[in-house]
Chains A and B, each alone.
Chain A
Amino acid sequence: MIPFEYIRPSGQKAALDAIAKDASAQFIAGGTNLVDLMKKGVVSPQKLIDIGKLPLKEIKEANTGLHIGALALNSDVAENEIVKTKYSLLSQALYAGASAQLRNMATVGGNIMQRTRCTYFYDTTMPCNKRKPGSGCGALKGYNRMHAIFGASENCIAVHPSDMCVALTALNATILVSNNKGERKIPFGEFHRLPGDHPETDNTLQKGELITAIIIPENNLQHSCYLKIRDRASYAFALVSVAAALEIADGKTKDVRLAMGGVAHKPWRLTDAEKFLKGKPATENNFQQAAQIAIKGAKGYGNNNFKIKLASAAITEALNKAAGKA
C-alpha cells in the first residue's frame, strides 16, 4: 500500500471542509472495501479522512420514516428490532451479505459506495474502463460469469455487488447527502448510474459530498423475501438476488416491490413486473408471468447467459416465499 496522509475529524463540518479542500482525499468508514482496493493498488488516495468518529450512527423512527445514520454498522442495522419487524427486507438483505466480522465493520454509507467486484477491475494488469478509462472492458469478451444482464454498455458490464442496496431500492429509500454548503436528498433509484460512456463514475454523488443518512418511508409490505443465489451457501457475492415485498389484501396484490442484485451496474428495479402484479391475485401463476416480464430485454455475454433463466426462477421463488407459498 502506498503511503498516504490520514486525518480523523471529530465533527461533520471539519470532515466536509477537509474533503472540499483536497480533491485527492477520500473518506474512509469501515475500510472493508477501501483498504482492500488500496492493497491491490486499484485506488491510491493521497489522503484519507476517517469519518468513523462522526456522530452518524443513530437508527431512529421519525415522522418521515426510519432514519439510519450513514455510519450505522451493517450488523447493528440488521439486528435492530424496528428494522427486523417493519423493514424485514432490509434486515434479510444485510444478513445475506459478507460475514459476521465484515458486517461489524461495514457501514451503511460504505456499503452504498462500495465498488464492483469485477475481476478485471481488481486486476491492475487487465484492461478496465472503470479503473482506467479508455483501456477497454476486459470482461466483455473475457470471463464474464458474474457480470451484468441488464443495462450494460459496450464499455462496461460490471455489476454493483451490494445486497443492502437492492432492499433499499425496493423500499423507496432516500439518501441524504451534505457538502460544506448544504444538504440534498437523492432518491435511491437515482443514486447509482448505468455505465454508458462513463463507467468510471459509479453514482451521482459529487466530489465533496458526504452521505449522512438514509430515510426509508413507512410501508405496509408485510410479506417480504430477500433471496440470494450464490456459489456457496454463505459468504459469497450474489450471482443473482431478488428483493420481493408484497402488501396483500383479500388475496390481491395491493402493493408490490421487486428489485434485483448481481444483474446490473446498479440495483435493478423491476418496474414493469411490479405494474403487472398490482391489483392481481397473489398467485404463483401471476408470479411466473411477472418474472417473464422482468427478464425481457436481458442480455447475456457468454459465461453469464445462465443468469437470465436463473433470474426468472429466482423472481418467482422470491415472490412465492414472500407470499408464503413456498
Chain B
Amino acid sequence: MNTQKPRQASENGSDGFNASRRDFLKLSSAVAAASITPSVVTKAADKKVDERIADYFEKMTLNIEVNGTAQQLQVEPRVTLLDLLREQLHLTGTKKGCDHGQCGACTVHADGKRINSCLSLAIMNEGKKITTIEGLAKGEELHPVQQAFIKHDGFQCGYCTPGQIMSAVSCIREGHANSAGEIREFMSGNICRCGAYPNIVDAIMDVKKGGQDV
C-alpha cells in the first residue's frame, strides 16, 4: 500500500479523490495502484476488500476539539460523531441507545449546545468543540449536576445517565429549569427505561435552586 494522504473536504468535490466507492470499483487501474489484485477486488461480494478500499480512499481530515484537546483525525464521512467518540477516541461514556435520535443516551455538547451525537456525522463537526460526560468534571471534582444525580439517586442501571447529565446541564444553562413541569418538558429528549424520572427532576431542581455555576 502506498501512503496517499486522505483528502480534505473540498469546495466542489473536484479534487482528484472524489470517485465514489462504486466508481472506484470499476477502475481496475486504480485497483492496481492499491496493490490488490483486480480479480479479488472486483468481487463486490467480498466485503473485507471492499471496505479496505473504501477506507483507503474515503477517509477525510477532521479538526475537532474534544474535552479541551484539539485533535486532527481521519474519518470516513459515514461515521457518526457518536461512533467517532466511542470507537476511535475510546470515550465510551457517551452511550448508544437507539442510534436514531429517539432516546438521548448519546447526548453531548457541540459548541455548548446539547445534540444527539448519533444523528450527526462526525465530519459535519469540523472546527467544533465537543464536550462529553468525560469532560464535565474538573479533575477529581465532580460537576454539580453529577453530584446531584448521586445525592438524589437519579439512576438505576445508569445507561441513560451520561446523556441525562449532559442534557440536564444544558437544561439549566438554557434557562429551562424553572419548575418541575418545565424540566420534564425540556428533558423529554432523554428516555430512562428504569424510570428514574422523579429523582432526575429533583436533582436538576436542587442544582438550579442552589444557584451553582453550571
CA distance A100 to B107 in the complex (A): 10
Residue of A10, A46, A233 near B22 (CB, 8 A) is: A46
- Give the interface size class of chain A: 35 or more
Q: Is A99 an interface position by the 8 A CB rule?
A: yes
Q: Is B2 an interface position by the 8 A CB rule?
A: no
A104 and B114 contacting across the interface, CB-CB below 8 Å: yes
CA distance A36 to B80 in the complex (A): 11
Q: Is A217 an interface position by the 8 A CB rule?
A: no
Number of interface residues of B (CB under 8 A): 44
In A107-142, the 8 Å CB interface with B consists of: none
A7 and B12 contacting across the interface, CB-CB below 8 Å: yes
A39 and B100 contacting across the interface, CB-CB below 8 Å: yes
Residue interface mask B11-33, A partner, CB < 8 A = 1: 11100001011100000000000
What residues of A have a CB within 8 angstroms of the CB of B187 in the complex?
Answer: 100
A9 and B100 contacting across the interface, CB-CB below 8 Å: no
Q: Is B206 an interface position by the 8 A CB rule?
A: no
What residues of B have a CB within 8 angstroms of the CB of A52 in the complex?
Answer: 124
Q: Is B213 an interface position by the 8 A CB rule?
A: no
Q: Is B97 an interface position by the 8 A CB rule?
A: no
Contacts known (A3-B54, A32-B119, A100-B170); A8 close to B9, Cβ less than 8 A: yes
Residue interface mask A226-257, B partner, CB < 8 A = 1: 00000001110000000000000000000000
CA distance A7 to B11 in the complex (A): 7
A99 and B20 contacting across the interface, CB-CB below 8 Å: no
Q: Is A6 an interface position by the 8 A CB rule?
A: yes
B124 and A28 contacting across the interface, CB-CB below 8 Å: yes
Residue interface mask A151-176, B partner, CB < 8 A = 1: 00000000000000000000000000
Nearest chain A residue, comparing its CB with the CB of B111: A104
CA distance A10 to B21 in the complex (A): 25
Q: Is B159 an interface position by the 8 A CB rule?
A: no
Residue of A4, A14, A36, A100 near B77 (CB, 8 A) is: A4
CA distance A274 to B141 in the complex (A): 59
B20 and A7 contacting across the interface, CB-CB below 8 Å: no
Q: Is A18 an interface position by the 8 A CB rule?
A: yes
A18 and B12 contacting across the interface, CB-CB below 8 Å: yes
B11 and A3 contacting across the interface, CB-CB below 8 Å: no
Min CB distance B18 to A, Å, is: 6
Question: A interface vs B, CB < 8 Å?
Answer: 1-10, 14, 17-18, 22, 28, 30-32, 35-36, 38-40, 46-48, 50, 52, 75, 98-102, 104-105, 233-235
Q: 20 A–B contact pairs at CB < 8 A?
A: A3-B58, A3-B77, A5-B13, A6-B121, A7-B18, A8-B9, A8-B123, A17-B12, A31-B121, A32-B116, A35-B80, A35-B121, A39-B99, A40-B100, A46-B22, A100-B167, A100-B176, A102-B119, A105-B120, A235-B191
